[in-house]
Amino acid sequence: MVDLSVNISKIKMKNPVMVSSGTFGFGEEFSKIFDISLLGGLVVKGITLKPKLGNKPPRIAETPSGILNSIGLQNPGVKSFIKDKLPKLKKYNVPILVNIAGKTLEEYVELTKILNTEGVSGIEVNISCPNVRYEKGRLFAQSEKDVYNITKNVKKVSKFPVIVKLSPEVTDIRVIAKAAEEGGADALSVMNTITGMAIDINTKRPKLGNVVGGLSGPAIKPIGIRCVWQVYNTVKIPIIGMGGIMNEFDALEYIIAGASAIAIGTANFIEPFTCLNVIDGIKNYLIKNKISGVKDLVGTLEIK
């Protein structure tokens, strides 16, 4: 037997496989296909203070080895989430992490206070979504000062572990990761999507209603692995690696680079059972290589 369990701060997970925010809805659709209690963790669709309609369509555009999305954080708002969505999720034996997004520091703090309720296992602070307009006209994740301040103030009021979601679109992700750690982050999600765009050559118009969107899928995996490796060698808190994971081999690369857990996103749209397949694949790899637990594999990259 091998031990697949991992701890992300105080969040105890039966295995290291989670789902990325925005790719699994609120779990309702997937719960009709398989038992979502088998997951290591479930990160729900991004939540804002008030209901949000999101960006104008088209919102999705396929690209070679990936997809561009410009959903714009469409969601029912935090009060509706707590009333209508959370009770259904609480019946599953899986940690529920709530991804929160705001336009100001104050909105992140207010969201966190409201979410200090039974059934929530952790907060994922989304300061890096490329599909929304922030107060300062750029991502909070692109400012060392903003990352520190938001993390510090959210941590101050949260009853649960605080995970900060970083962007690869920075000069040096190590500096930003360190700012989040110094602000009190319990863990880091590395990484969010990368801004891109696509053009219809016949109409000479953007394929997305918002012009630009977040690129996800296999195309960004090498960037994600690089970011995880850099952050792992910079901070001492756990990392959740994500970006282009389609199978257990991709997941294992992230773990060896330094991720204590991984999150699967785009692959859920292609093959709904990807998460379960990855869990089995990691288990078989550990058995084959006589590794007693997945924790022993984290950060084992050898560089001569």
Mean pLDDT by 10 residues, the chain (304 residues): 96 98 94 97 98 96 96 96 97 97 96 97 95 71 96 98 98 98 98 97 97 97 98 98 98 98 97 98 98 98 93
Containing structural domain, residue 263: 6-54+72-193+216-297
Tokens of 296: 């022993």
Say if residues 268 and 23 touch (Cβ distance below 8 Å): yes
**Token pair 């997937």: residue:** 30
Cα angle: 98, vertex 99, 104; to 5 degrees: 125
Within-domain flag for 201: no
CA distance readout (Å), 90 to 48, 77, 97, 117, 202: 20, 18, 11, 11, 48
Within-domain flag for 228: yes
Residue 286 maps to which CATH number?
A: 3.20.20.70
What is the spatial distance between Cα 252 and Cα 236, in angstroms, rounded to a whole number?
20
97, 129, 132, 255: the catalytic one is 129
Within-domain flag for 208: no
Count: domains in the chain: 1
Within-domain flag for 63: no
Within-domain flag for 203: no
Within-domain flag for 36: yes
CA distance readout (Å), 176 to 121, 195, 227: 24, 18, 11
3-state secondary structure the chain: CCECCEEECCEEECCCEEECCCCCCCCHHHHCCCCHHHCCEEECCCECCCCECCCCCCCEEEECCEEEECCCCCECCHHHHHHHHHHHHCCCCCCEEEEECCCCHHHHHHHHHHCCCCCCCEEEEECCCCCCCCCCCCCHHHCHHHHHHHHHHHHHHCCCCEEEECCCCCCCHHHHHHHHHHCCCCEEEECCCEEEECEECCCCEECCCCCEEEEECHHHHHHHHHHHHHHHCCCCCCEEEECCCCCHHHHHHHHHHCCCEEEECCHHHHCCCHHHHHHHHHHHHHHHCCCCEHHHHCCCCCCC
Within-domain flag for 11: yes
Give me the pLDDT at residue 130, please. Answer: 84
CB atoms within 10 A of CB 292: 12
Within-domain flag for 261: yes
Say if residues 147 and 154 touch (Cβ distance below 8 Å): no
* Residue 227 designated active-site: no
Give me the pLDDT at residue 300, please. Answer: 98
Give me the pLDDT at residue 136, please. Answer: 60
Give me the pLDDT at residue 85, please. Answer: 97
